[in-house]
Amino acid sequence: MAQSETVERILDAAEHLFAEKGFAETSLRLITSKAGVNLAAVNYHFGSKKALIQAVFTRFLDPFVTSLE
């Protein structure tokens, strides 16, 4: 699996679970299970759950920010 595909799978799973369960109730283990990756992949690409949710928000907001510039 390519790195970019891994990142997308993690972000997709995290976005879905954060929306469904909230930040506090979503564990990295739930995210890795849904994404089909191991915990090391999340730590490698994002470093922490906080950094992961920031990446989810950035991915969502980037198109809006770009259109405002």
Task: Say how far apart CA 38 and CA 40 lie, in whole Å.
Answer: 5
Q: Find the mean pLDDT for residues 5-10.
A: 97
The pTM (predicted TM-score) of the whole model is 0.87
- Determine whether domain 3-63 maps to CATH 1.10.10.60: yes
Domain ranges of the chain: 3-63
pLDDT in tens, 25-52: 999 999 999 999 999 999 999 999 999 9
Q: What is the pLDDT of residue 67?
A: 75
Task: Say how far apart CA 43 and CA 65 lie, in whole Å.
Answer: 27
Q: What is the pLDDT of residue 9?
A: 98
Q: What is the pLDDT of residue 12?
A: 98
